[in-house]
Structure 1
Amino acid sequence: MNITYYPYRPIHAEQGHITVIETAIPEMYSGFLRSFREAQDSVKLSDEHFNRLALEKYTEWIGDLMLELDLDVKLKRLLLKHVLNSLDEYTATKLIDQARALSNEVLAAVDSLDIAMDVAPITEIDAIIKFSGLHFSPIIHEDIYGKIETLVKALLELNEQKLVVLTNVTHYLDVSQMQDLVRLINTTPLTFLIIEFSSQQHRGYFADCDYVGIDKDFLDSRD
């Protein structure tokens, strides 16, 4: 996949790799953010043959790990759907039987009221799973690396094939955690893009990534 921001030459993003674009130019940084977050036209996306790809269709905006990434909002609905599609018949039947048993227990509990009442049994698997209140553990949100690791695992489960776009990773991960993230992505078919705004280039921090830095003088680190 190629990412083009005129007048710079295309930046190639590969599966199993983390591509980093770090710029000291505010307009360029905001142009990248608007393009990937709002599908504006500052950035062009294309395949290996330079056929144009629609940003909104081929990118997955994650953004700032702390300020924008809410795992429950971003992924819970998709993972619930994935779980529903993955359930075997035995497990589905067992869940329905347990839901009926719970309904009977509730009905028995109100029997003493001597009032004609009934329960609406939950027999749909999706309703049963929603009723369970399934959500991401709060512990994950307290550990920023654990949060991004969970994101990666979820994207793999969902067979994500889009360009996954994050920002401001240097604010949250230390060098060791960044190296762990690189090794993790290297074992997956995911394509990750990190966008950073900084007056200083972090080549060492991103040593194992496909790095492109644009300094305040508009110079490309690849030249």
Structure 2
Amino acid sequence: MNLTVYPQAPFAVDSGKLTFLQTNNPKFYSTIVLGCKNLDKIIISENDEILELSSHLAYLGNGIDNVDLITAFKTKLEIEVIENLTESERQRLFQLDREVKSIFLGAAYLEELPLAIDDEWNLKKMAKYCGINILTSSMDNPYDIIKVIIKLYHKFYPKKLMVLNGLFNYLNSSQINDLIQMIKALDLYVLILDFSADFRKELADKCRYYRVDSDFVRFNY
């Protein structure tokens, strides 16, 4: 997969190998960040075919400031849970639904009012009632949040290019190494943007590393 920001040549992003794009050029950095965020003025392509940005790119920022990145998967998680139910589990939930509605209906008759209870059995409503969600309070540090977000995208959008930036304000070298290994194990497309002039030799040895300097000169490592 290639990401193009004119007038630069395409930046190759391989699955399973972290791609690191560093620059200390404010104009270039803002162009690529806003392009990924707004899905505008950049191009994603593969095998010379231009891909639709909304279907193939997900801008995640630093993955920490925006809790909606996790809560946005709530509905998908509910559907996943429902699809994994066995037939016996579905029958038991149907019986429980009848019992719960019978209790409420009995209480309604005590008031001698012409009330009715919806007799429809809806697994989606039952799952939503249970409040299935990711327990973010159990995440002790920013890296835990980033791992969960990446795993969610791997599960539901495995072929999307994930673009993150500003991670080095939150991760230590050990966590960065773990992130590189996780991307390899899950075979993901991940691009990290970094606004800095500091060459990171340890990343050049392990990642696809690009650098664009203040004069728009590009270096490939």
Same fold (TM over 0.5): yes
The offset of 1:222, in angstroms, is 1.4
Q: Map of 1:23-172 to 2, 5 A cutoff? A: 23-41=23-41, 43-47=42-46, 49-108=47-106, 113=111, 117-121=115-119, 123-172=121-170
Uncovered stretches (5+) of structure 2, i.e. residues with no partner: none
Q: Deviations over 1:74-122 (max 9, x none)?
A: 3212222333334333332222222222223344556655655443356
Correspondence for 2:3:
3
Q: CA deviation at 1:217?
A: 3.2
Instruction: Map residues 137-216 of structure 1 onto 2, 5 A cutoff.
Output: 137-204=135-202, 207-216=205-214
- Measured after TM superposition, the shift of residue 16 of structure 1 is 1.1
Paired residue secondary structure (1:187): helix
- Aligned in 2, Cα 1:174/1:64: closer, same or farther, shift over 3 Å? same
Aligned residues: 221
Larger displacement relative to structure 2 (86-95 or 2-11): 86-95
Name the counterpart of 1:21: 21
Structure 1: distance between partners of 2:88 and 2:207: 45
Query: Given that residues 212 and 220 in structure 1 are in contact (C-alpha distance below 8 angstroms), is that contact kept between their aligned partners in structure 2?
Result: yes
Distance 2:157 2:90 in 1: 23
- Kindly tell me: are residues 123 and 72 of structure 1, through their superposed partners in 2, closer, same or farther at Cα, counting changes over 3 Å? farther
**More moved, 11-20 vs 194-203:** 194-203
TM-score, length basis structure 2: 0.86
User: Structure 1 stretches of 5 or more lacking a match?
Assistant: none
Q: State the Cα distance separating 1:123 from its structure 2 match.
A: 1.1
Once the two structures are TM-superposed, the CA of residue 150 in structure 1 deviates from its matched residue by 1.4
Deviates more, 1:80-89 or 1:52-61: 80-89
Q: Structure 1 vs Structure 2: percent identity of aligned residues? A: 24
For 2:44, give the aligned amino acid.
L
Q: Secondary structure at the residue paired with 2:202?
A: coil
Report the TM-score, using the length of structure 1 for normalisation: 0.86
For 1:161 and 1:45, locate their aligned partners in 2 and report how far apart those are by CA, in whole Å.
12
Q: C-alpha separation between the residues in 1 aligned to 2:67 and 2:206?
A: 24
Identify which range, 132-141 or 168-177, moves more after superposition. 132-141
| Contact 2:77–2:132 under 8 Å retained in 1 | no
Q: CA RMSD in A?
A: 2.4
* Change in 2 beyond 3 A, CA 1:206/1:65: farther
Letter in 1 for 2:76: L
Whether the aligned pair in 1 keeps the contact of 2:23 and 2:212 (CA below 8 Å) is yes
Q: Structure 1 residues 137 and 214, CA, compared in 2 at 3 Å: closer, same or farther?
A: same
